[in-house]
Structure 1
Amino acid sequence: MIDGHEWDNLTAPGVDYYYPDGDGAAFWKSLRHRPDVASELAVILAEGNRLLVSPVEELTHSLFAIFETQGLRLEYERVYFEKRRRLNTFAILSLLEPESEVYEVALLDAVWSICSELTWCLPAHVNAKRALSATIDLFSAETGFALAELRLLFGERLPEPLRTRIAELVDERLFRPFVEQGPYEWEEAEHNWSAVCAGSIGSAALLLLEAKQDRSRLARILEKTERSISFYLRGFGDDGACLEGLGYWNYGFGYFVYYADLLLRRSGGRRDWFQNDQVRRIATFQQKCFLNGPLVVNFSDALSSGSVHPGLSHYLADRYTEVETPPASLNADYCEDHCSRWAPALRNLIWRHGDTEAPAHWGAGDFYLPDAGWLISRVSRDGSAFGFAAKGGHNDEPHNHNDLGHFLLAGGGELFLCDLGCGEYKRDYFGDGRYAYDCNGSQGHSVPVIDGCLQSAGQGRSAAVLDLSMGEYACRLSMELSGAYECGRLESFQRTWIWDKTGLPSLSLQDKFLFAELPGGLTERFVTPIRPEYAGPGRLRLSGGLLALEIQYDSERLSAEVVERTYRNHFGKDTIWYTLDFQVRNPEICLSFEFLFRYIPLKGMGGLTTNHE
């Protein structure tokens, strides 16, 4: 907890927080000529040119009401995030080219427009339990932080009415509700909400409130912020794994870092979250969760392809020797963030190292995260990279999927066995119908359907690790997974992965089932984005660009069926995926099967009749 007396000696917030020598104009002028950011600045300039000739859309009641009447989010959010894209783009261009009247006018219009919004919250986060004026969600907190930061960075370049209005709105929509109308559910959330909401409010307070006249108020806001930050960190195990995946690590941990940095600077180094050992461990998560190129371990509501925020990554690499500087090829593109968040966009420019010699790719390695129950392995062979990941844990995780025993295989730039990741966010997606969505229920994961049963949700639905070994030539992991199923006849389900790293890697999957009485049926299921092909008796093949993954199975005991399916991805697009179902021909009380997944150089292959659903 913050001691109120610490704030007597606070430094005043200033632009020296952002620029090494406090000279913002010189920094942005020099940035225009740095080769390491040339491609990103070209993207921002192109985006500015697009926005200058695009009609400005405003948020209307009709758009706001769509979520209430239809449960749909994307219509309102498209306009909402485009407005933030305008704000960010013209702010950066105005900093880069302060002589441009066109950019400055566009920036001021963007600030005015956002200050004129009825609410900064998204419709999905508003309900009758709390007045609209007292509601604080992720995006309202982010917006207040962004405006407070722009107010500081632009100083008197912002007209006084806008400077005053920003301070008034942040006070009305964030500070007063946070202190006077809580508690909010997210204040004790052990996931990204506590870091983003509280971190943004705390950051805005550090930027807007002076130490002397606002001392008691600033102390109260920071006391509450610090408490929420503690809950956020409580959501991590000692292994530092982010159960929500890389995207939410960038998001939640990113906003934690932005806040912790500002707090460190205003407190003159007296309050330093970066000395916390848990924070140190969380900082190393990013370098562990990449499988192959941009392909990542995307258990839970995460995308299969990831990127790094160079600003955040370089900042953490400066803080910790354990944090690796990421490959520059993985740097996030400016337009990649469809939510158009200001804080990371700014820091990707001001925290980026101009002279950092980044590696060409992540190195090989084996990582076991015991609290998460994840095993991850990266291998490099014959100029190609390969990745394997397997998951235990429990079925009550943040953005939970019912996915115990699920696994991923990547190689040669292709994801052969995948996780569907996050679907389109709708009202029911976070409601009672969550597990009817294939991307969330076990039916959309590489786990069996046992005696007609899918996996069930709940923290008690957990995996138990039986055996683990990681060596130079192989990794082995065994789990008891019967606890994931509410299946009366099932007594035991043990799954063992043996990841052979010699030569071109291969994976042996061994499943053992024990039933109290004869089961009605059993189906082994694997999930892939690649259309399978028949490669001979007991063999299916998934063809990538340079490699193929061949799946070998006992065709006398198992009959194979391939079904083409579709789901709505996070961006509302229908996406094709395939289930490879291996149905047991003659169920028995004791059953065991082995599947071999091996990489081979790609050759000509025949076709496989595919069913459609």
Structure 2
Amino acid sequence: MKCCVIFTTKGILGCCLFFCAVVSGMAQEKRDLLTQGISETIPLSDWDIDPLKAFPSEEAVHDQLIQLPEEIRGQLIEEGNKALAYEWPVIPASAYLDFVRNGDRTRMQSYQNQRTSTLKRLVLAELATQEGTYVDAIMDGAWAMCEQSTWVLSAHLSAQKDKSGLPDVEEPVIDLGAGEVANLLSWIHFYFRNDFESISPLLARRIEKELDERIISPYLARDDFWWMGFRSSFVNNWNPWCNYNVLLTTSLVAQDPEQLQQVVLKTARSVDQFINYYKADGACEEGPAYWDHAAGKMLEYLELLKRLSNGKVDIGQHALIQHMGNYIRKVHISDDYYVNFADASARLKAHPGIIFRYGRYISDEKLKGFAAGLAQKEPLSQWLVKGSLDREIHNLLLYKELESQKIYQDKAPFFWYPETEVAGARTANGLFFAAKGGHNNESHNHNDVGSFVLFYRGEPVLIDVGVETYSAKTFSKDRYDIWTMQSDFHNLPQINGVSQKNGNDFKALSVAFEEGKRNARFSLDISKAYPETADVDSWKRSYELDRQEGTFVMEDQFSLRQWKVPSESHLMSLYPPTKSAAGEVVIALPSGQEILLHYPADKLVLTVEEWPMEDPRLQSVWEKEKVYRLVFVQLGELLKDKWTFQVHTP
């Protein structure tokens, strides 16, 4: 007898894609874990927050740096020496204006990225040597950042009242860019304040002034930044990311204990909105590539709050927090491939340090072991001193513990997120699929209700292409003009010549997942993901994985109100498909394995199209310049029919 568990959900209200939009609807659940936790501790005024105790000292970081393998430590010093020659160029006004003129955000961001990365290299070199060699250059970099008109990225200046594209220095706003610069300057102030004051007391005071005027005071004075979640139920990864940077900045720099208390309380209320918004299953609506900046940034905030409260505020054992952490482990396919719906990339260099910290926070050996496995596959230099200075400081303090952690490599036979409506399953011989329901107004949405991906032994067979390099168009009313956002370029049907449409109302119905010893089955009705012009009453799609046979079956059973033009079924392949016989297609993988795809040749006629991938982001992910679209076109004018596709592995 087959033992199985069946979960069924219905379509739910979602969120608006665009970062600054206001959406109606309630949060998933008013949990308020943080404010509740703070109210249950001793009064905040008695927390006795002392940055000198809460954060690693310069000596502690230096001790870790000098114990690094010589090649890594030498590389840090070499990079610091190269950074000494940096001239700190001013960011041109035209670089900001690029965004409103032609949608380009990269030129302005490249200037800011060069500045922050150079400053970080100088700091690490000085912390490694402690000889004063880099102090003047660090001073120059910190001064240049203070002189910069804004730390806000050009793509986010629309948060200001002036929409011309140039920063208004009289209206400070807080975005991801401003927060990251504040984070960096706060650590510099923490470690080099005495050095700066020995040169001139004005240096440290200038940093404090800029951080207060650009970050701390605006944060306390306003509650209308969209990412705070105080005026709308919609939040995304911006919420924990910005709140963490604000709290860290205040903790490291602020001299007023009352001000710090105010920031603690307000950030806790704000991050509660993020936790409240999350569905109880803990899945990252924005996909695995955003996990690091969503759940991962929340983890950084929770760790900091726990440290500041001397362990009194700790929500690590709450089921939702546990689920949010383990999401990244469960949606891992193989090597650096992850399930990549929405704007997520199919390939991801996940950060072992932040995953390990999450596992430690929630006391989860599997998650810590997953992080250890990721770390083992890469040279230490490839993850230890990568990312922000903040991340690198934490990595330095934990990497030895991480290296001694027992690796956990087991893959669960299935996963199911019933509220987010994402499921996946695998066979012992390496066949893996994942599919989604949901709706077409999810954060970073693609019109992809009902789509799926298929892998064999870690190699992609049928793919979700992903997202191109971000531009102004990506987050505008013209988003769905981009081909990678359209349902026609996902593994989905085109019904009566009509594609899926974006919006809350375009969603999956009757979503169910069944998992047994032999089979895993995901099913849903995708008819409501299409507008009325599709004239479809029902389009029931199912995916079934047979673990014993090592096969995968996709079935479409539909009923139309009227026939207009032939309906189609589209499949996206990374590797060229070859018709080998009637109703049979072969997809040859680089490993030499051949995947056989059978389709009903008496009902569908197949054409194969090549689609160029000219975008550098897509090319870097797939390491190809084109993908292939299999277009199966309906034969006859049937209002009702059933199409069955079957995939066989070697």
Within a 5 Å distance, the mapping from 1:375-386 to structure 2 comes to 375-381=423-429, 385-386=430-431
Structure 2 equivalent of residue 223 of structure 1: 265
Structure 2 equivalent of residue 587 of structure 1: 637
**3-state DSSP class of the match of 1:415?**
strand
Structure 1 equivalent of residue 16 of structure 2: none
Q: Residue 320 of structure 1 aligns to which amino acid in structure 2? A: I
User: Which of 347, 351, 357 does residue 398 from structure 2 map onto?
Assistant: 351
Within a 5 Å distance, the mapping from 1:455-534 to structure 2 comes to 455-488=500-533, 489-502=535-548, 505-534=550-579
Q: Residue 365 of structure 1 aligns to which amino acid in structure 2? A: P
Within a 5 Å distance, the mapping from 1:298-313 to structure 2 comes to 298-313=340-355
TM superposition shift of 1:472: 2.7
Q: Residue 266 of structure 2 aligns to which amino acid in structure 1? A: K
Over 3 Å counting, the alpha-carbon distance change for 1:473 and 1:439 in structure 2 is same
Over 3 Å counting, the alpha-carbon distance change for 1:154 and 1:410 in structure 2 is farther
Farther off after superposition, 312-321 or 290-299: 312-321
Query: Cα deviations across residues 508-559 of structure 1 (Å, max 9, x unaligned)?
Result: 0011110112241111001122222233322222222222322211223211
2:385 touches 2:395 (CA, 8 Å); kept in 1?
no
CA distance in 1, matches of 2:391, 2:97: 30
Structure 1 equivalent of residue 3 of structure 2: none
TM superposition shift of 1:408: 0.7
Q: Residue 523 of structure 1 aligns to which amino acid in structure 2? A: E
Within a 5 Å distance, the mapping from 1:380-419 to structure 2 comes to 380-381=428-429, 385-419=430-464
1:113 lines up with 2:163 in the alignment: no
Structure 1 equivalent of residue 9 of structure 2: none
Over 3 Å counting, the alpha-carbon distance change for 1:444 and 1:349 in structure 2 is farther
TM superposition shift of 1:27: 4.8
**3-state DSSP class of the match of 2:649?**
strand
CA distance in 1, matches of 2:205, 2:381: 30
2:344 touches 2:467 (CA, 8 Å); kept in 1?
yes
Structure 1 equivalent of residue 627 of structure 2: 577
CA distance in 1, matches of 2:612, 2:381: 29
Within a 5 Å distance, the mapping from 1:120-159 to structure 2 comes to 120-127=151-158, 128-129=160-161, 131-132=168-169, 133-159=171-197
User: Which of 416, 419, 434 does residue 371 from structure 1 map onto?
Assistant: 419
1:146 touches 1:343 (CA, 8 Å); kept in 2?
yes
Q: Residue 368 of structure 1 aligns to which amino acid in structure 2? A: W
Over 3 Å counting, the alpha-carbon distance change for 1:270 and 1:357 in structure 2 is closer
1:317 lines up with 2:363 in the alignment: no
CA distance in 1, matches of 2:118, 2:413: 41
TM superposition shift of 1:52: 5.3
CA distance in 1, matches of 2:391, 2:482: 31
TM superposition shift of 1:403: 0.4
2:86 touches 2:118 (CA, 8 Å); kept in 1?
no
**3-state DSSP class of the match of 2:541?**
strand
Question: TM-score under structure 2 normalisation?
Answer: 0.83
Over 3 Å counting, the alpha-carbon distance change for 1:335 and 1:490 in structure 2 is same
Farther off after superposition, 549-558 or 39-48: 39-48
1:34 touches 1:354 (CA, 8 Å); kept in 2?
no
Gaps spanning 5+ residues in structure 1: where? Answer: 601-613
Structure 2 equivalent of residue 246 of structure 1: 288
1:307 touches 1:331 (CA, 8 Å); kept in 2?
no
Q: Residue 185 of structure 1 aligns to which amino acid in structure 2? A: W
**3-state DSSP class of the match of 2:43?**
helix
TM superposition shift of 1:356: 2.4
1:28 lines up with 2:62 in the alignment: yes
Over 3 Å counting, the alpha-carbon distance change for 1:406 and 1:206 in structure 2 is same
Over 3 Å counting, the alpha-carbon distance change for 1:156 and 1:535 in structure 2 is farther
Structure 2 equivalent of residue 611 of structure 1: none
2:333 touches 2:458 (CA, 8 Å); kept in 1?
no
**3-state DSSP class of the match of 2:323?**
helix
Over 3 Å counting, the alpha-carbon distance change for 1:53 and 1:363 in structure 2 is farther
Farther off after superposition, 364-373 or 527-536: 527-536
Gaps spanning 5+ residues in structure 2: where? Answer: 1-34, 163-167
User: Which of 564, 586, 595 does residue 549 from structure 1 map onto?
Assistant: 595
CA distance in 2, matches of 1:333, 1:585: 56
Structure 1 equivalent of residue 30 of structure 2: none
Structure 2 equivalent of residue 604 of structure 1: none
1:198 touches 1:225 (CA, 8 Å); kept in 2?
yes
TM superposition shift of 1:450: 0.7
**3-state DSSP class of the match of 2:543?**
strand
Query: Cα deviations across residues 144-195 of structure 1 (Å, max 9, x unaligned)?
Result: 1222133224442444443222211110011111222442111114211111
Structure 1 equivalent of residue 125 of structure 2: 93
TM superposition shift of 1:449: 0.8
1:451 touches 1:487 (CA, 8 Å); kept in 2?
no
CA distance in 1, matches of 2:74, 2:336: 22
User: Which of 577, 583, 586 does residue 538 from structure 1 map onto?
Assistant: 583
**3-state DSSP class of the match of 2:44?**
helix
User: Which of 266, 279, 293 does residue 308 from structure 2 map onto?
Assistant: 266
Q: Residue 173 of structure 2 aligns to which amino acid in structure 1? A: T
CA distance in 2, matches of 1:587, 1:41: 70
Question: TM-score under structure 1 normalisation?
Answer: 0.88
Query: Cα deviations across residues 8-62 of structure 1 (Å, max 9, x unaligned)?
Result: 223343354344xxx6425533444356xx7866765665566556765442112
User: Which of 598, 602, 606 does residue 560 from structure 1 map onto?
Assistant: 606
**3-state DSSP class of the match of 2:637?**
coil
Over 3 Å counting, the alpha-carbon distance change for 1:461 and 1:433 in structure 2 is same
1:377 touches 1:389 (CA, 8 Å); kept in 2?
yes
